[in-house]
Amino acid sequence: MKVDAVAVSPEALATRAATIDELLSDDFESPPALKRDTDRATKRLAAWCKSSTGGDWELFDRRLRRDGHTVADVLTRFAAARRRSTVPLPQWARDADWIQVALRNRGGMCSASAPFAHVFSGVAGEADRRLWTSVDASATNRFASSARDDLRALLIDSLCGLCRLREVAR
């Protein structure tokens, strides 16, 4: 069965993965929100209150005010936040963009036998291309093609290792 993944823009990914501190910083702004966004924001705020003050809203409100926030401001930011256009994306979000593309373009045959190796062959190929185009040609020429093949295989093996199920000790 083939599953077509929907690509997530680096901007959306960086926003969705932002920490609370990042969302409340000046790097983000709050455009108008939809009703479903405000419902989700209310749940997120309640979870934060519960985890930080055991659900004590009065104490939580004091904590927010100490940090220069109000419940209303936090709800607004949680409901709809976007990175300001003048703030560069973090490097990990830019990397995630090319990795998404590489995962969809598996790069042909993969000689590695590890589970999931075929999934990561495109990522390893693109990482290889990016690495060697960023290195001076005089240094690149010092590596045999077999060494480059070994580096790609090592990357694939490392990525596959992240996907392996590990038995949990009881």
* Banded pLDDT at 23 (limits 50, 70, 90): very high
- CB-based contacts of 23, cutoff 8 Å, min separation 6: 77, 78, 81
81 with 17: CB under 8 angstroms?
no
Rounded (5°) CA angle 140-97-109 = 60
Give the per-residue pLDDT at 78. Answer: 93
Give the per-residue pLDDT at 7. Answer: 76
Reading the block at residue 129, the tokens are: 């291309």
Q: Which of 1-5, 54-58, 125-129, 157-161 has the lowest mean pLDDT?
A: 1-5
Reading the block at residue 153, the tokens are: 């295989």
Q: Is 127 exposed, middle or buried (0-12, 13-18, 19+ CB in 10 A)?
A: buried
67 with 25: CB under 8 angstroms?
no
Q: What digits encode the pLDDT tens for the residues 104-134?
A: 886 555 666 777 888 899 999 999 999 999 9
Give the per-residue pLDDT at 112. Answer: 61
pTM for the whole structure: 0.66
Give the per-residue pLDDT at 111. Answer: 61
Give the per-residue pLDDT at 5. Answer: 61
* Banded pLDDT at 89 (limits 50, 70, 90): very high
